Chain A
Amino acid sequence: MIKFDSVTKAYNKVLALNNVNLEIHKGEFLSVVGQSGAGKSTMMSLIIGEERPDEGQILIDDIDIAAIRAKDIPYLRRKIGVVFQDIKLLPMRTAFENIAFALEVSGEKPSMIQKEVPKILEMVGLEEKSKAFPHEMSGGERQRVAIARALAHKPVLLLADEPTGNLDSINAWEIIQLLLKINKAGTTVILATHAKDIVNSVKKRVITLENGEVVYDQEKGKYVL
């Protein structure tokens, strides 16, 4: 479903990705590991069209992202959910409203939003926190709201860039379980992380980046560095 074909990306003179070839299949759960600065986040930015490759192509369902017009990028982003280490919830809105926000943006009717948001909240196990503001929730709960928001448009692909970075190991583990559950329901998941024990216990495909290059690509892989 996603194909990196000889992709190179540099910021000014810093080489972030160097000749990356990679194929990610529908329904896969892919962990991307590597040291800080290895190029994990850059991969994510390229997939959502936030950055453009300097060389090579990125194909999503055989469509070259570089060929997508700027005005169509928003529609691509509705098909791809994203979550980050720094969660990015709106502080003045409740859990419900934060999720509703994603649906409002795409012009959904209020009645549809009222019906849909509770379902999404239930999926991430936060029915009870519907009316809570971000500052009234734990880090793990906040991240689950962010995941719920990323799922609002029923994306085919979920990108999680160090979603557990700020969480203790119990909360982190809950988030990983949630991502696995989402994957099981059919969504392709790409997880970028530093956490060795997480990657090892997931037992799914792992690719390892080093200085912008793919150095390992293992089915049921381990964190090798």
Chain B
Amino acid sequence: MTKTITTRRVVRSAVTNFFRNFWVSVAATSMVAITLFIISTILVLYTLAVLSISNSQDKVGVITAYFNDKTTDQEMADIKAEVELLPNVREVIFISHEEAERRFRERHKDNSILISSLSEFEKPVQASLSIRSEDLNNYEGLYNELKSQRYSAYFDRVSDTRVVIEKLSRIIDFITKFGIILALIFMAVTVMVTFNTIRLTIYNRREEVEIMRLVGATNWYIRWPFIIEAMMYAVLATLIVSIVAFGLLYLLSGSIEEFLSLDSLGTNLINALFSRIVIVNILASLGLSILASYIAIRRYLKI
């Protein structure tokens, strides 16, 4: 009973503090929100890059060789038969340009400009061979063979998913390095801003604190309101950033899926990302604000 009354009084005191310096509180909350937004952005970019890497990794070992427009259907069939006989080839799938076009239309069905531009070319999308190798270690040899003189008359270009994966790995590296540095800088600034705000609150309430000590308030009764005030910045900032993040994810989901050529993951992806953002945000913001207010209390609240 006494405990719930005390808790209520401490929380009420924190809320009063929050509103007494309303604009200072708004500024502190905004700072936390900006940091959370940056952390969320980094998190989304990182998750998507990792996702697209694993997406491409499914295709590792698949070399795609695109036929040029001059190659006839007969030649394509002959080449397919020939490639099937090469060493280290497990499977060869022929994709005609009609099939490729159908897939292209399916993937970009929301993009009318792209679709309408298809009709301007005679054979807009190239036919290709998807060649799966038997053994990933001898992959290089197969790739070089397909790039050789023998096939250069038929193949326009030979693409290797490993290049894409390497590129993605570099992007992930970049996001991780710069993301962590950027996040750390903003987290440090947030701690400083929150620290200063709580210090200001302590200063504004120094009389009340002095009287509380005189009439026998316990240390935690005096301290909690300041920590709770900082936690309010954290929770409010998390709320704001989560709403914004949800809106943005929802609006951009189409483009994200298209970019990563994910057709099935859809809402699952958004939900997974969203819950991850909320969890990371609440943990980060609470951690930072509790740390900041605790330092302020230790330094400026003489018990």
Enumerate chain A interface residues (CB-CB to B < 8 A).
Answer: 48, 70-71, 74-78, 82, 88, 90, 101-102, 104-110, 149-150, 152-153
Contact = CB atoms under 8 A, between A and B. Distances in A.
Contacts of B212: 101, 105
A48 B6 CA distance: 24
Interface in B186-222: 207-208, 210-219, 221
B1 interface: yes
Nearest to B2: A107
Given A90-B207, A90-B208, A101-B211, A74 B5 contact: no
B215 A149 contact: yes
- The DSSP consensus for interface residues of chain B is helix
A153 B216 contact: yes
Interface hub of B2, B6, B217 (most chain A Cβ within 10 A): B217
A106 B9 contact: no
Contacts, number: 54
B246 to A, nearest CB: 40
Interface of B: 1-3, 5-6, 9, 207-208, 210-219, 221, 303
30 contacts: A70-B219, A71-B218, A71-B219, A74-B213, A74-B216, A74-B219, A75-B216, A77-B215, A77-B216, A78-B215, A78-B216, A90-B207, A90-B208, A90-B211, A101-B211, A101-B215, A102-B215, A104-B9, A105-B216, A106-B215, A106-B216, A106-B217, A107-B2, A107-B6, A108-B5, A109-B1, A109-B5, A110-B5, A149-B215, A152-B215
A71 B211 CA distance: 17
B216 A88 contact: no
A70 B3 CA distance: 21
Nearest to A99: B215
A76 B218 CA distance: 11
Contacts of B211: 88, 90, 101
A59 to B, nearest CB: 20
Nearest to B20: A92
B210 to A, nearest CB: 7
A120 B207 CA distance: 23
Contacts of A149: 215
Contacts of A88: 207, 210-211, 214
Contacts of B6: 107
Nearest to A155: B216
A124 B224 CA distance: 33
Nearest to A72: B218
B296 to A, nearest CB: 19
A24 B303 CA distance: 27
Given A70-B303, A71-B219, A74-B219, A82 B5 contact: no
